[in-house]
A and B are shown apart, each in its own frame.
Chain A
Amino acid sequence: AQSVAQPEDQVNVAEGNPLTVKCTYSVSGNPYLFWYVQYPNRGLQFLLKYITGDNLVKGSYGFEAEFNKSQTSFHLKKPSALVSDSALYFCAVRAAYSGGYQKVTFGTGTKLQVIP
């Protein structure tokens, strides 16, 4: 069965330090991978996606993510955290098209707290 694991419920990082939010996945065949961010009392906003090509994907607000096929991971990173990055982050996966509808599965979310 298709699944996404975000092993940390919460990540704390000091402002200015690099941050990493972890995501591993399980899917049949090649994956399409996504990161979304949710600010308090808001809906989810798209950050970035991996479809194919370069394993390092750059997205909005200075975020990037690295696709690692052998480790089935898609960790979200940022070189220097801002207090305004504090939010809930969701990783999502679906199988690349192979006929029929491919469901998108979301992780349980990781709360990022950036400490001033």
Chain B
Amino acid sequence: AQTVTQSQPEMSVQEAETVTLSCTYDTSESDYYLFWYKQPPSRQMILVIRQEAYKQQNATENRFSVNFQKAAKSFSLKISDSQLGDAAMYFCAYRSVQTSGSRLTFGEGTQLTVNP
């Protein structure tokens, strides 16, 4: 079974600065997806970014980028030019590509605080 670990329960960053959230996972599969979800106080689960394991290039979405290290099974999220609206709980998640593997496995979450 796959597992996802986020070792930072809480992080803080000054507005306009950069912060990196860590995520490691364990799997025996070679083809899978990795995701970062944002959960603001509204509770909505918002997809921030996704990475396909067969792609070596790191995914980027505006101020959000990932550092995907497949051999090390590491998937960190970098938020540049942090904004107050980035304050939220962030979850790392894994999904198999196999037809029967539609399940999302989540990490424990990292609560990000953005200080003005």
Q: Do A and B come from one complex?
A: no
